[in-house]
Each structure stands twice: as structure tokens, then as C-alpha cells.
Structure 1
Amino acid sequence: MSAAPTGAALERKGTLQLSLAMVLSGTIGVFVVESGAAPFNVVFFRCVFGAVALGLYCLARGFFRDHGFTRHKVLLTCLGGVFIVFNWVLLFESYRSTSISVATVVYHTQPFYVVLLGALFFRDKLTVSKFAWLAVAFGGLVLVAGVSPADLVGGGSYLLGLGEALLAALFYALSTIFTKRVTGVRPHLVALMQVLVGIPLLLPFTRLAETAGLGAGWAWLVGLGVIHTCVMYALMYSSYQKLPTSKIAVLAFIYPAVAMFCDWAVYGHRVSLLQALGIPLIAAATLGINLGWRFGPSRPAAPVPAATPLAPVVTPVATPVLTPVAPVAVQAAGPVPALPSRSTT
């Protein structure tokens, strides 16, 4: 009989799972471009193949039993699905107008939208440190964008691509806001319902006639559905149960790093030196927001005044009275909680 894995062993396993998931996420841009399909077609078939793969996975794992969905949770999940599928469309459009590298780094500003939306709609507290990290992220975004006078002419396709990446990040943040409120349901089932929502939602925008000549492009589309929508999500959701938030935030940066490497290795695209200076600013600001880092030096703690010795007080000894103690409520282990905020496509 084998011993149960220790906490350290579970964390190592979770680190490996999330690292692999982020590596897979970084290759999405190559799969999208190599498929040769229009962005709406890509997302439609990602939803189709992803729904089949996720459905079979959930069926094999028995996730459909005691699913935990209610009418309210279904509504929230569907709203999140609307934003997540259009977020994919906008991001994939941005690849065409900018590059995989630039679009991915700009898209990685999602956590800041989550903070701002939380403050706007749910009155989450915005501290001075959060404002400062947002300012740092904006400075990094300006550098990464690398807009030149030449980008302002010729139709402005590059500026349009930057806007699409920013809007994609906003849509992802809106999806996160809704999805985080779907509690008591396995995130695999949430993801399955969201891609199912995407099928009828995107069908009117999908040009099926264009898929006749895809040829080998179908393999890339199947890969997006099976690898990047089933395998990748299964790895992520499993790792989240084993890792602290701090490690999840750090490992999330594997995704843009791999995306930039793939963009350079496959297509020869590289960011300029000025753009590269903005990447660590966005990275530092993202970690600062996710981990609650205080911006600037910490204030020294106020000195504690020395205690004044008190004269002993003599009190009569009373007979002790036994008061019954209320039992501590123990929460039973339930379904996996909803997916925490993450930076991935």
C-alpha cells in the first residue's frame, strides 16, 4: 500500500502541471496562424472540437453526477461564455494585425481590468499601491505597443490590432468576473458549457464555405480543441488545487514567454529593444497586483510603549462555571471551486 503524497510532492506535481499548461498556451498563436482559417472559423471549430473532448473527459471522470448547476449559475456561466468566445475572436484577429508576441503581451494586461471592474461594479477597494501598479503597467503597455508615426497611416491596421488585443483582455476580465461567481461547480463543466454556448453564438459569423480548402489546417483546428481546450484546461484546473496563489502568478508568465519564443522561432518576429523594456514593467505590475505587493518602501512600525507594571490584585476564588462550547463547523469537501483569475487564452 503506497503512502499518500506529501504537501511538497503535491506542489511539485502542480508546478509541473501548470508549467506544461502554460507552455501549451504559448503555442496557441502558431496553431491559429497555421490553420489558415479566419478567426471566427477558428473559434467556432475550437468550440466544436473542445466541446467533444471536454464532454468525453467529464463523462469519463463522472463529473456530470452532482454537477451543482442551478438556474442562476447556468446564467452566469453562459454570460461568461459569451465574453470568453468573443475574447478569443478578438485576440486571434489581433495576431493578424500586429504579431503573436505583441498581441500576447498586450493581452496579458487582463488582471488590471479585473481589478478595475471589481472596483467599478463590486466596490472592491482600490489602494494606493494598486493605482501605482496600474500606472507601471500602463507605462509598460505604451513601450510594448511601440507605436510609430508610420503606424498612424496606411489604414492604421497595427493600431486596430492593439485595440483588438486590449478589448480581448477586457472581455476576458468580464468573463472572469462572471465565472468567479459560479461556485460549487467543477470548472471543467463550466468550461464545457461555455464552449457549448459558443457554437450557436458564433455560427452566424462562421463562413463554413471557406473551410473546404483548409486541408492540413483541420489538424491545427482539432489541436486547438483537444490540446488547448481540453488537455490544457484539465492540467490547469488540477494544478490550481495544489499550488499557492503566489506560485500560480509567477508560473503564468511562462505563457507570454513561450508565445514570444514561438513567434520568433517560427515566423522570425522579434520585439524591439524599446518594446522589450516594457515587458518587465507589465510583469512586475501583474505580480504586484496578484500578490498584493506594497508599492514603495514599507512604513516603519510604530514603537510599542513599555508596559507599566501593575500592582497585584487579589480576588476571591470563585467556583468555576462550565459553559458548553459550540461545535466547530467543518465544511465537507465539495466540488472543485470555480477557476481563479488567470492569464491565459
Structure 2
Amino acid sequence: MSTTETPMRPETRGAIELTAAMLLSGTLGVFVVESGASPFNVVFYRCVFGTFFLGLYCLIRGFFKNHGFTAKKLGLAALGGVFIVFNWAFLFESYESTSISVATVVYHTQPFFVVLLGAVLFKDRITAHKAGWLVVAFLGLILVAGVSSSDLSGDSAYLTGLGYALLAALFYGLSTIITKRVTGVRPHLVALVQVLLGIPLLLPFTTLSESAQFGSGWAWLVGLGVIHTGVMYVLMYSSYQKLPTSKIAVLAFVYPAAAMICDWAVYGHHVSWTQALGIPLIVGASLGISLGWRPRLRPASVPVAPAQPGPDTTVAEEAKELAATAPAQDSAARKRTTV
């Protein structure tokens, strides 16, 4: 009897890799908070340790040979890096004023900023169905924000935190729009350029004198660079080569789900019932934008036969429709999971 094991299908392997990457992303907030460092210090050292890991990885894999960079592509990668490192800083600032759960969900309005920025900067047309999803997302955002009357009176740290999360999402949208124009270059190299740039860029905002007081916080900072900027990126970029856009868009929401679980398990934070109602609105609208979902009206003149049992057939037909409406190379959807 043959004992040879059947090799794992590439798509299955990709799904496992992306799920693992998103689970790691969900622990990001805990690493940031437990480090005890200020947000800009956290991002600075994330860039330092991330540069070391990604540089070593690219060297071992031989990515520096035939790298594909031109002066223009390098400039675009660097410009995208400016927005990506400040996006991290504002996201981490929002953790302090709101919670990891709320900040992460609000941060996942990124796809809508990509759509709006594309319309403003490149005159991309916003179709009726995209406008509808934007309205749905806005309603979800209002519910998730959970702003009370006390927050509106006087200075509110909570409102400031929400603003930081939205600003982080805006900066991520800008980075996505810019970086997607860097074609013919391995994403690992683009990420390396961006974190390398972050070191001198963030140095003026970093208080290096506080480094002596980090103590055990150093372990969390190293983890942010090695795990969340090294291992996580390698897993994500590997999975992108094996998965269709539809699965990438769906699995991306493992990240906020894992973040909310970590926030509850470690810090006891939980969302209210009102906020919980807004989360599926943002998730559904984000998937609708990423996958191009639109209502399909059935012609009135065509008689419809009664539905017959057969859930497997229904699932298969839905999968075919998703594959037809989701472009396989939609890099914006592929990149939005990056933290």
C-alpha cells in the first residue's frame, strides 16, 4: 500500500498562509501597548528591526539581483513609504484614545478612501453601486464610533482617537494608490524601501532618550519588527501569489476579528451592541467595494422556477459569480490587508 501523502494544493496553502498572517496582525495592538513606548518610538523601532529582517530575507532569496527598480519606481516606493510609516504612527496613537477594537474597525475604512482618492486624484468614476457601498460604510462607521453627547462637549480624547484612526486609513489609502503603480518589482523590496526610509524620516519625532527605560518592552518592539513587519509580510506576499482576489478580500477580515478577540482577552475591552451592529455594515461594504458586488435584477418577463434542494450547487454558482466579478490582479484589494 502506498503511503505517499497528497501534496497540499497551492490555493489551500495560500489560504493557510494568509490566515496566519492576519492572525498575527490581530496581535499587533497588544505588542504596541505592551511595549510601553510612545507611538512614534514604536514605529521607529518597528522600522529598524523590520529593515534588518526584510533586508536579510531579500539577500538570502536573491531578490536584489534583477530588482526591477528604476529611478521613478524607487521614488514612488519611497513616497508610498512616507504615508505608510505615518499611517502606522496615527493608528498606534488611536489605540491610546479609543481601544484596539474600535481603532482597528475604523481603520478598515481604507478601501473607501482608495475609491474616493482615485476619484479626486485620477478622476476615476464612482459608479452607483460603489456610492451605495460608501453610504453603507458611513452608516456602519457612525455606529462603530459610538460617539455620545459627552464626547461632543469640550475636548474629547475619544474623538481625537477616532480622528487618528481615520487619518491612518487615509494615509494607507494614499500609500496604496501610489505603491500600486510600482510594477515589476517584488513587494518584499518595496516594503524594504519603505521601512528603511522610515528610519531617518521618523528620527526627528523619536525620543531616543526613552530607550533606556523600555526594559522588557524591547522584546515587544523586536517582535513588531520581526513578526509583524517581517514574518507577516512574507506570509502575505507568498499567499497573494496563490489566491484569487475574492479569497484575499474575505480572509483580510480575520485581522479585525482577531484584534477584537485579543483586546477582549488581554484588556477586557468589548464593543457595545450598537457598535456591534455597525461592524457587519463596514465588513459587507468593504467586501462589496473590493469584489465589485452589485445588485442583480431578475427580468420580470422571465418566469422563475421554484427553488430546488441543492445547497452545493448554489454555493458553486455563487463562487463562479465572485470569480467573474473579481479581477485576479486587483492590487488595491491585495494590498489593503497590510498593516
**Structure 1 residue 42 displacement after superposition:** 0.2
Equivalent in the alignment of 1:83: 83
Equivalent in the alignment of 2:16: 16
Q: Distance in 2 between matches of 1:246 and 1:252?
A: 10
Q: Distance in 2 between matches of 1:186 and 1:108?
A: 25
**Structure 1 residue 301 displacement after superposition:** 8.6
Please tell me the residue identity of whatever aligns with 1:298.
L
Task: Check conservation: 1:111, 1:341, Cα contact below 8 A.
Answer: no
TM, length-normalised to structure 1 = 0.86
Flag the structure with larger Rg.
1
Task: Check conservation: 1:19, 1:254, Cα contact below 8 A.
Answer: yes
Task: Check conservation: 2:245, 2:330, Cα contact below 8 A.
Answer: no
**Structure 1 residue 297 displacement after superposition:** 4.5
Q: 1:244 to 1:301 in 2, by over 3 A?
A: farther
**Structure 1 residue 211 displacement after superposition:** 1.3
TM, length-normalised to structure 2 = 0.88
- Write the deviation string for residues 169-195 of structure 1: whole angstroms up to 9, x where unpaired: 000000000100000000000000000
Please tell me the residue identity of whatever aligns with 2:199.
I
**Structure 1 residue 153 displacement after superposition:** 3.6
Please tell me the residue identity of whatever aligns with 1:109.
T
- Write the deviation string for residues 97-141 of structure 1: whole angstroms up to 9, x where unpaired: 000000000000000000111122222221110000000000000
Equivalent in the alignment of 2:338: 344
Q: Distance in 2 between matches of 1:132 and 1:177?
A: 22
Q: Distance in 1 between matches of 2:136 and 2:65?
A: 46
> What secondary structure, in the 3-state scheme, does the structure 1 residue paired with 2:335 have?
coil
Q: Distance in 1 between matches of 2:106 and 2:297?
A: 30
Task: Check conservation: 1:110, 1:172, Cα contact below 8 A.
Answer: yes
Q: Distance in 2 between matches of 1:273 and 1:172?
A: 28
Equivalent in the alignment of 1:259: 259
Q: Distance in 2 between matches of 1:13 and 1:132?
A: 35
Task: Check conservation: 2:23, 2:254, Cα contact below 8 A.
Answer: yes
Task: Check conservation: 1:185, 1:337, Cα contact below 8 A.
Answer: no
Task: Check conservation: 1:187, 1:338, Cα contact below 8 A.
Answer: no
Equivalent in the alignment of 1:298: 297
Name whichever of 53-62 and 112-121 sits farther off: 112-121
What stretches of structure 2 of length at least 5 have no aligned partner? 303-328
**Structure 1 residue 149 displacement after superposition:** 1.2
Please tell me the residue identity of whatever aligns with 2:271.
V
Equivalent in the alignment of 1:332: none
Matched, 1:135 2:135: yes
**Structure 1 residue 23 displacement after superposition:** 0.2
- Write the deviation string for residues 279-326 of structure 1: whole angstroms up to 9, x where unpaired: 0000100110011000x44252988xxxxxxxxxxxxxxxxxxxxxxx
Name whichever of 52-61 and 118-127 sits farther off: 118-127
Q: Distance in 2 between matches of 1:272 and 1:238?
A: 36
Equivalent in the alignment of 1:110: 110
> What secondary structure, in the 3-state scheme, does the structure 2 residue paired with 1:280 have?
helix
RMSD: 1.9
Task: Check conservation: 2:26, 2:257, Cα contact below 8 A.
Answer: yes
Q: Distance in 1 between matches of 2:337 and 2:62?
A: 28
Equivalent in the alignment of 2:93: 93
Equivalent in the alignment of 1:318: none
Q: Distance in 1 between matches of 2:331 and 2:283?
A: 25
- Write the deviation string for residues 47-95 of structure 1: whole angstroms up to 9, x where unpaired: 0000000000000000000000000001100100000000000000000
| Stretches of 4+ aligned residues off by more than 6 angstroms | 336-339
Task: Check conservation: 1:23, 1:254, Cα contact below 8 A.
Answer: yes
Q: Distance in 1 between matches of 2:199 and 2:132?
A: 40
Q: 1:301 to 1:78 in 2, by over 3 A?
A: farther
Q: Distance in 2 between matches of 1:248 and 1:338?
A: 11
